Structure 1
Amino acid sequence: MMYLFIVVAKVVEVSLATIRMVLITKGERKIGAIIAFFEVSLWLVLVSSVLDNIMEDPLKIVAYALGFSCGNYLGSLIEEKIGIGLSEMQVIVKEDKGVKLANMLRDSGYAVTVMHGEGKNFPRQILLMYVPRKRIKKIAARIREVEENAVVTVSDKKALYGGFGMIRK
């Protein structure tokens, strides 16, 4: 029973730590601080349980390590599902596909900036968008429907001020 407590508590604690770090880097300091309180409280209870007679019961080390690794995995899954913040999507397509793709994305409610570019063999259109992280996969799938050879890159961004459809802080 003690080993199960250690594993579960460590999974919860590390998952909270992962979410806290993302929140803080995205500018959500207050929520991050609240999560930190619970994270550290749980950590203190957990560590005191693990360190008590650890040399006589080395399986506590295994349970702690298992909880840590599972917590990292679960925390990253939860964070991805929550999709906190914005990302910049850059889409590079042949010039003849750019306007069609931009219009389709705009019709779906996304703000798109189109720029001209020069590829090795063809003129290109570069589409820039700031989108909620949780919608990246959906948008990428829509882009592939129109142009399967598009080059799509995504970069996380911190706060964004102004622009079409953006929340101003």
Structure 2
Amino acid sequence: MLYLLIFVAKLIEVTMATIRNVLINRGEKLKGSFIAFFEILIWIYVVGAVLENVTEDPLKVVVYALAFTLGNYLGATIENKLAIGTACIQVVIKSDIKGILSDALREKGFGVTIMQGQGKAGEVDLMMIYLKRKRLDEATAIVNEYSPDAMIVINDVRNLKNGFIKK
């Protein structure tokens, strides 16, 4: 029973820590700090349980380490589903497709900025699309539909002021 308690508590604590780190890195300091309070409470109790008689029961350390590992994975998975924050998609396309692709993106509520460029094989256009991370799959699907060979780069955006982002 103690092993299960250590495992579940550590799993929850590390999952919370992963989400807290992402929130703070994305500028959500208050939410991250709120999570940190509960995270540290769990950590103190779990560490105390693991260290008590650790030499006589080293299996507690193994359970602790397994939960730590799984907690990181689970936290990253949950954060990816929550998709907190803003992203920028940069799309490099052949110039002849820019009109139809930008129209399709704008029709779905995406703001698109287009710049001309020069690639190895000739003229290209660079589209920049700033959007909520929750809409990344939707936007990349549209790009792939109209230009399957487009080069797509996705970056997280920490701060953004002005511009057009559909909520």
Q: TM-score, normalised to structure 1's length?
A: 0.96
Q: Report if aligned partners of 2:9, 2:46 keep a CA contact under 8 Å in 1.
A: yes
Percent of aligned positions with the same letter in both sequences? 44
SS at match of 2:152: strand
Q: CA RMSD in A?
A: 1.1
Q: 1: distance between equivalents of 2:119 and 2:40?
A: 52
- Between 1:3-12 and 1:63-72, the stretch displaced more is 3-12
Kindly indicate whether residue 74 of structure 2 is the aligned counterpart of residue 74 of structure 1: yes
Deviations 1:83-113, CA, capped at 9 Å, x for gaps: 1111110000000011211111011100000
Q: 2: distance between equivalents of 1:138 and 1:2?
A: 45
Q: How many residues align?
A: 167
1:26 is matched with 26
Q: TM-score, normalised to structure 2's length?
A: 0.97
Q: 2: distance between equivalents of 1:146 and 1:165?
A: 22
Q: 1: distance between equivalents of 2:111 and 2:138?
A: 15
How far off its partner does 1:146 sit?
0.6
Q: Report if aligned partners of 2:11, 2:71 keep a CA contact under 8 Å in 1.
A: yes
Q: Report if aligned partners of 1:90, 1:153 keep a CA contact under 8 Å in 2.
A: yes
How far off its partner does 1:31 sit?
0.8
The 5 Å alignment of 1:85-96 reads 85-96=85-96
Unpaired stretches in structure 2, ≥5 consecutive residues: none
1:36 is matched with 36
SS at match of 2:140: helix
The runs of 4+ residues in structure 1 deviating greater than 3 Å are none
Deviations 1:118-144, CA, capped at 9 Å, x for gaps: 111221111001111122122111211
Unpaired stretches in structure 1, ≥5 consecutive residues: none
2:53 is matched with 53
1:159 is matched with 159
